[in-house]
Structure 1
């Protein structure tokens, strides 16, 4: 089953298991991004308005810790699945825990519910995230050419879910269940969390209902038992070769660089959300766009631009010069992120940073163009990184190194949370400027190191 999908009539076909994982990840991302789109607004809204009434600096620190922790736990989840659980079972465990986490946020609307719900989401993501990406790579054990295309398709599934999540969950929270009593707005945040829980349940129903049919035995055994059953001995105890060590080092080095990318990119759910909420003119033909909807811009641009950029890579690869190397693509992605912040700085120069004294709101196109540049940067970096790890990681460390790659986002989110909190003391101009310039600088450094890294990868 995993090897089905040879080219017919000049078209590349993929095994049906890819599309099963595509839809499973789509619904998991719907759950995550739906909850994430509301989290900062839920934390900072007053108790009387249906929120928890936290100070904005505290709320952004909580947001940063949560979005960081969900990318740290894949280290433990990847290790446990490689050694003891198996990838397929780990995905199910993670999905159930995440559905429960969102349901707790819906059912228990106080501080206890907040921390219990976030804890379940953090632990569940640790089991789910590294293993589903690794399964995509396992569908193509002897076909590196189709693997890059497969991860592009998989990445589109991620972003279709991420596109609809803020629209649906944001509409439920800010429009459908919003009421006004005595001039005070009451938001329905809890119903947005319920929609996120339902999305996770749908994804798990699809995955467990069709998994045996379309995935066969892939991911059922641990790395140790699979290697022994195939007569290869216990690969988990075999030392790494020199080339495996070099490739592992490349993964770790590039992972350190992309921390700077994600620290800036993940401002979308914290400082960019708060800036858009107060400083951006959100009226569109007399209708005010819900703040949470701005987080759908990134996945919308990805779904539109991913096929275009993928076609560009294929065309570039067919030229005499050849395709850009992985480190060069990632360096370009970091520079594009920095340029996005340069655009936003122009808007901040107009509006200032004092939300109690806003003279003028910025045009909506500033933040739209910022998200466009950030999306282009993500497309240069993130799907390329997933494919890189699946290609370079030694078999015995496959899920663990995928967890290391995801952990870079964890470090970045915690760092990003602290940076976002500084917007309340330093100001948006200073923080956005620091993030933008640092991303451009690190992109240039990675560009300078690219040839050395490519030699280590070969």
Structure 2
């Protein structure tokens, strides 16, 4: 019997399965970023005020380890999905584990609940993350030209969830459930974690209710059991990789190494940038004091606004005589934009200094707004293009595994980011932010110089 295919679409339209994955990823990111927006504040807030009372340096190291580990487990999740589980089932397993992880953070407001919750989130993300991105690529087996645009749309789903999450969980933690016990303000972090758990459950209900209708049989069986005529429109070869497949795999690994420097800077958002904004930024805006967690909504807000513009720009550029920018060039530009964002932030640090015990002056809120704007532009040049690159270049039998390798670069970067963030408490914000910005610009220039060679390896 012929395999069931995803719902069809017109020549110039994206398949409806893209939008199902869009909403599934949107709710998963709501869950993750809602929790992440509170994690550093939860760790550093005093026990009597509803936090765990960790030292700031220790808290940022824990944050870095957690955000790093969630990107390492996709290596194992991708391997198991390719060979044994199937991508569709892995997404469901991952979603359930992540919902339980956030619920553990809600139910047990102590270090035991912290480690159980973070552990479940790390494992669940390993099953979920590489497989949903790979499914997006599988929707376009014979339409490589649309993949960059499709992944940019998919990226909007990620960031709609990431935009609303800090607003909701930050409000619950900072406003709605603030009470006074013995004269001490008590923050409602646990209710923010509960909201994250509910978001994950909603995403899984949508995905499992509509998956058969809009995805057909793609991702239902492990790749190793697929034969010619599979849903991706190709054959899964049992033999060794060809020379061209090895070259393309090498390109993925090389570019993955470069983007570590990007994510090490970008992922300061949840740690050092959060603590800097909490202490050194004047958060009053037209008479309203902006909760610190809300600053993490700036990045996804800018992505939702700018992603359609860039998606349209890539398509129009591909139709010109010159053609679209190559993948390495786009990524190099993204790294340079990140570095420029830190140059803007350094101007704020020059005003405020780094001494949290003696804050004489606070910086204007627009410094951090423009920093996030440049970081967002850098992300749009790099991240959705990277997801598209892996789906295009990876040999079919290694697709989820190499997506895991791509995500693992963020794991290395997040651990590095945690160490860098911890140094802001000893070296100072100026030194650390300046180092990150300079390294991003230098590595971007090097990638530009290597772009011609990498493009030839990709062809």
What residue in structure 2 maps to residue 439 of structure 1? 440
- Is this contact kept in 1: 2:105–2:193, CA < 8 A? yes
Q: Distance in 2 between matches of 1:269 and 1:349?
A: 22
- Is this contact kept in 1: 2:354–2:430, CA < 8 A? yes
What residue in structure 2 maps to residue 171 of structure 1? 171
- Is this contact kept in 2: 1:3–1:139, CA < 8 A? no
- Residue 181 of structure 1 and its aligned partner are, at CA, apart by 3.6
- Residue 230 of structure 1 and its aligned partner are, at CA, apart by 5.5
Q: How does 1:243-282 map to 2 (within 5 A)?
A: 243-282=244-283
Q: SS of 2:227's equivalent?
A: helix
- Residue 44 of structure 1 and its aligned partner are, at CA, apart by 0.1
Instruction: State which drifts further: 433-442 or 303-312.
Output: 303-312
- Is this contact kept in 1: 2:37–2:296, CA < 8 A? yes
Q: Distance in 2 between matches of 1:447 and 1:199?
A: 40
* 1:146 aligns to 2:146 (yes or no): yes
Q: Distance in 2 between matches of 1:440 and 1:420?
A: 19
- Residue 180 of structure 1 and its aligned partner are, at CA, apart by 2.9
Q: Structure 1's 288 and 183: CA in aligned 2 closer, same or farther, altered over 3 A?
A: farther
- Is this contact kept in 1: 2:18–2:136, CA < 8 A? yes
- Residue 233 of structure 1 and its aligned partner are, at CA, apart by 11
Q: How does 1:360-439 map to 2 (within 5 A)?
A: 360-439=361-440
Q: Distance in 1 between matches of 2:366 and 2:433?
A: 17
- Is this contact kept in 2: 1:34–1:192, CA < 8 A? yes
Q: How does 1:220-235 map to 2 (within 5 A)?
A: 220-227=220-227, 235=236
What residue in structure 1 maps to residue 241 of structure 2? 240
CA displacement, residues 407-449 of structure 1 (integer Å, 9 cap, x when unaligned): 0000000000000000000000000000000000000000000
- Residue 315 of structure 1 and its aligned partner are, at CA, apart by 2.5
Q: Structure 1's 233 and 56: CA in aligned 2 closer, same or farther, altered over 3 A?
A: closer
Q: Structure 1's 236 and 274: CA in aligned 2 closer, same or farther, altered over 3 A?
A: farther
Q: How does 1:71-110 map to 2 (within 5 A)?
A: 71-110=71-110
What residue in structure 2 maps to residue 339 of structure 1? 340
Q: Distance in 2 between matches of 1:289 and 1:436?
A: 26
- Residue 309 of structure 1 and its aligned partner are, at CA, apart by 1.5
CA displacement, residues 357-405 of structure 1 (integer Å, 9 cap, x when unaligned): 1110000000000000000000000000000000000000000000000
Q: How does 1:187-202 map to 2 (within 5 A)?
A: 187-202=187-202
What residue in structure 2 maps to residue 324 of structure 1? 325
Match of 1:6 among 2, 10, 21: 10
- Residue 234 of structure 1 and its aligned partner are, at CA, apart by 8.9
Q: Distance in 2 between matches of 1:368 and 1:428?
A: 17
| Runs (4+) off by over 4 Å | 228-234
- Residue 143 of structure 1 and its aligned partner are, at CA, apart by 1.0
- Is this contact kept in 2: 1:332–1:380, CA < 8 A? yes
Q: Structure 1's 363 and 55: CA in aligned 2 closer, same or farther, altered over 3 A?
A: same
Give the alignment's Cα RMSD to 1 decimal: 1.5
- Residue 6 of structure 1 and its aligned partner are, at CA, apart by 2.4
- Residue 319 of structure 1 and its aligned partner are, at CA, apart by 2.5
- Residue 318 of structure 1 and its aligned partner are, at CA, apart by 2.6
TM-score using structure 1 length: 0.97
- Is this contact kept in 1: 2:7–2:215, CA < 8 A? no
What residue in structure 2 maps to residue 210 of structure 1? 210
What residue in structure 1 maps to residue 33 of structure 2? 33
- Is this contact kept in 1: 2:328–2:454, CA < 8 A? yes
- Is this contact kept in 1: 2:7–2:214, CA < 8 A? no
Q: Distance in 2 between matches of 1:233 and 1:193?
A: 43
What residue in structure 1 maps to residue 127 of structure 2? 127
- Residue 257 of structure 1 and its aligned partner are, at CA, apart by 0.1
Instruction: State which drifts further: 208-217 or 20-29.
Output: 208-217
Q: SS of 2:10's equivalent?
A: coil
- Residue 146 of structure 1 and its aligned partner are, at CA, apart by 2.1
Q: Distance in 2 between matches of 1:213 and 1:390?
A: 23
What residue in structure 2 maps to residue 55 of structure 1? 55
- Residue 3 of structure 1 and its aligned partner are, at CA, apart by 6.7
CA displacement, residues 309-362 of structure 1 (integer Å, 9 cap, x when unaligned): 222222322322221110001000000000000000000000000011111000
Q: SS of 1:424's equivalent?
A: coil
Instruction: State which drifts further: 310-319 or 280-289.
Output: 310-319
Q: Distance in 2 between matches of 1:167 and 1:155?
A: 19
Q: Distance in 2 between matches of 1:249 and 1:27?
A: 33
- Is this contact kept in 1: 2:149–2:315, CA < 8 A? no
Q: SS of 1:180's equivalent?
A: strand
Q: SS of 2:226's equivalent?
A: helix
- Is this contact kept in 2: 1:224–1:236, CA < 8 A? no
Q: Structure 1's 322 and 235: CA in aligned 2 closer, same or farther, altered over 3 A?
A: closer
* 1:161 aligns to 2:165 (yes or no): no
CA displacement, residues 26-84 of structure 1 (integer Å, 9 cap, x when unaligned): 00000000000000000000001000000000000000000000000000000000000
- Is this contact kept in 2: 1:3–1:140, CA < 8 A? no
Q: Structure 1's 230 and 363: CA in aligned 2 closer, same or farther, altered over 3 A?
A: closer
CA displacement, residues 137-188 of structure 1 (integer Å, 9 cap, x when unaligned): 1111111122222111111000000000000011001111112344421100
- Is this contact kept in 1: 2:87–2:135, CA < 8 A? yes
- Is this contact kept in 2: 1:65–1:413, CA < 8 A? yes
- Is this contact kept in 1: 2:7–2:216, CA < 8 A? no
- Residue 13 of structure 1 and its aligned partner are, at CA, apart by 1.1
Q: Distance in 2 between matches of 1:258 and 1:116?
A: 30
